[in-house]
Amino acid sequence: DDRLRMFEEKGPFARYFSLLFILIGVSLLTGLFYNLPFKRFFKKTRRKKEISQKLHLVCKKRLFNLPLVNSLIITMPNIVVIIYSLIFLVSEVSFDEEVERSMFIQLHYLTIVATLLEFLFVYYWEKHRVHIKYIDHIYSETELRKQVFIRKRGKIRNRFMVASGMTTFLPLVVVMVYLVLSLTSVKELALEGYSDEQKEVLFGPWSDIIGIGQETQSEEGNDKFFYVNAIDSIVMLVGIGNGILVSFIYLLLFIRWTNRDITWPLKELLVNIRNTRGGDEEQYSIVRTNDEIGELAEGYNEMTEKIHNYVESISAMNRDLEKKVNERTREVVEQKEEIETQKEEIEAQLDLATLQRDTITNQNDLILDSIHYAKRIQTAILPPVQLLEEHLSDHFILFKPRDIVSGDYYWAREKDQKLLIAVADCTGHGVPGGFLSMLGISSMNEIVNRSAELNPGKILEQLREIVIASMHQTGSWDEAQDGIEIALCVIDLKKLSLEYSGANRPLYLVRDGAVQHIRPDRMPIGIYEQDPLPFKKHNIKLKKGDSIYLFSDGYVDQLGGPLRKTFRAINFRKLLLEIQDQPMEKQKAILLENMALWQGEVEQIDDVLVMGIRI
């Protein structure tokens, strides 16, 4: 009367296995239906029959999803019965006996572990077959010269890590599951007390230790222990043996698959490289994987294609050259007498070429004379040296144009007992930059003459308006973005104050062994891609011994050094700190010497302008 319902017609185990067998049948039919196009494709391939475009497209579309889909189809019966088991376990009325429920729970856990192992095994087995056996039949030679994979590029290291995890941790999980399922709580025995014989059976050699002091205490503390009965011991040993067997099988198969996935493409690549080295430049390697080996194969294919194209190009050039040589030879033979008659004409052309050369030389001299005259004009409108020497006892100006005329300029004015100083860098260099620099100098003189307020930010805003109007700039995408980068200071030497505004050109203030970087507004004097904004004014309180540096970008952008790189602003600041103890004229000499050493044999790439002032 107390027998279990586990194998009765309506018992949980009977329902479980009935549902499982039905789902296995459905799974087999689903798998056959899904894989039918591949079966037809490879059957026609073996028999060398024509394959329809529709069948080819279906196989190509499903190929890389084949491992995942087949894994899901194979494990779908297990997944469904796992869900069914979970629902059955949640329902408390489904079991008449606790033993029946306990065995059903163990079956549920074992099904989960088996499903995981089955899914991973089928997935990696199918993935191995796709990359090694299927891909070069379904995709064409042209397609396999490059990556055909949907997912982003992976790494060989990750594949080794997955294989290690599969061959190590999953078998350990199987062993641990069997070990946990074999444990039985002492509480399930429902004993009110324990005799010495029962304790010795349950606790073994530990029964004497556990029994100390139990005479006066409750036996509830022993209910917290677990034991392994005889049947569970057998189940546990069988499970551990299965875990070892699974580990051995997984180890052999996964190592074999992983090695073939790596060595097979490498062997193909090495064979193709040897053939290419032997003169066969039409070889190609199949890109089977989306890892570093696939990247090597793809790079090899690109290289061989370029070599083949290069050889074809050279051959075509040789054929054309041979054809032209033959044609030229015939022309030479036919034109021999004509050349004699054209001798006088050639001599006349030579005289004409000589005359043109002399004309070009004269024109070049005139242009150079004009440029030198433009330099004299530019030099004339620069501020006189006496103005700076009158107000600044210790200063220097390092001015080294790239060409005869410079696109950089410095400017100084004295007004209302204040000294205005600027260093500017115009777009370009040479004559174009020189014209723009003269526009900037004359415009700044005009602005200062008519302005009552000596606000550097306002002066730059007015200069921007004049430049935009003079250059007829509208902001159109196809017009030249000419402009001026400038740093402008208004210095009151009596009050020891400085006001600074900058358009893409900073100010360096060296004080107490540190360089203070006063940053400019990130917009030029000229048309700008954004709406024009007011220039910010920086107020700085000066101290005796402060050093102020204004400069264009020519010094810091100069190429040189062992790696032919730019000098960079950070190295410029370090250099300024190193020479702070020197007078300004000595600093100028050091800067010139350092630039020559850095530049070496590299030509000067831009105008160089640095102004240093010591308060």
Higher per-residue pLDDT: 319 or 249 = 319
Domain 383-614 annotated CATH 3.60.40.10: yes
**Lowest mean pLDDT segment, chosen from 302-311, 348-357, 440-449, 583-592:** 302-311
User: Which amino acid is it at 473?
Assistant: Q
Per-residue pLDDT for 416 more than 70?
A: yes
Give the model's confidence band at 566: pLDDT under 50 very low, under 70 low, under 90 confident, else very high: very high
Please give the pLDDT value at position 255.
67
Q: How far apart are CA 607 and CA 100, in angstroms?
A: 93
**Lowest mean pLDDT segment, chosen from 121-130, 349-358, 527-536, 546-555:** 121-130
For residue 532, which phi and psi values (nearest 5 degrees)? -65, 140
Please give the pLDDT value at position 6.
44
Residue 501's H or E segment, with its range, is: strand 497-503
Average pLDDT over residues 516-538: 92
Please give the pLDDT value at position 161.
67
Average pLDDT over residues 315-328: 86
Per-residue pLDDT for 258 more than 50?
A: yes
Per-residue pLDDT for 158 more than 90?
A: no
The answer to whether 499 and 507 are in contact (CB under 8 A) is no
- For the chain, the average pLDDT equals 80
> Where do the structural domains in the chain lie, given as residue ranges?
1-138, 346-381, 383-614
Q: According to the per-residue pLDDT averaged within each range, which of 70-74, 327-331, 342-346, 411-415 is highest?
A: 411-415
User: Which amino acid is it at 527?
Assistant: I
Per-residue pLDDT for 501 more than 90?
A: yes
Give the model's confidence band at 455: pLDDT under 50 very low, under 70 low, under 90 confident, else very high: very high
Average pLDDT over residues 593-598: 96
Give the model's confidence band at 108: pLDDT under 50 very low, under 70 low, under 90 confident, else very high: confident
Give the model's confidence band at 238: pLDDT under 50 very low, under 70 low, under 90 confident, else very high: low
Written as six digits, the tokens of 330 are: 């015939």
Residue tagged 């000067």 (tokens): 604
Please give the pLDDT value at position 492.
94
Burial of 608 (0-12, 13-18, 19+ CB in 10 A): buried
Q: How far apart are CA 187 and CA 197, in angstroms?
A: 17
User: Which amino acid is it at 349?
Assistant: Q
Average pLDDT over residues 550-555: 96
* pTM of the complete model: 0.46
Q: According to the per-residue pLDDT averaged within each range, which of 121-135, 352-366, 476-490, 534-548 is highest?
A: 534-548
The answer to whether 487 and 420 are in contact (CB under 8 A) is no
Give the model's confidence band at 370: pLDDT under 50 very low, under 70 low, under 90 confident, else very high: confident
Q: What percent of the chain has pLDDT over 90?
A: 29
Helix (H, G, I), strand (E, B) or coil at 492: strand
Per-residue pLDDT for 403 more than 60?
A: yes
**Lowest mean pLDDT segment, chosen from 101-110, 149-158, 362-371, 553-562:** 149-158
Q: According to the per-residue pLDDT averaged within each range, which of 325-339, 464-478, 517-531, 588-602 is highest?
A: 588-602
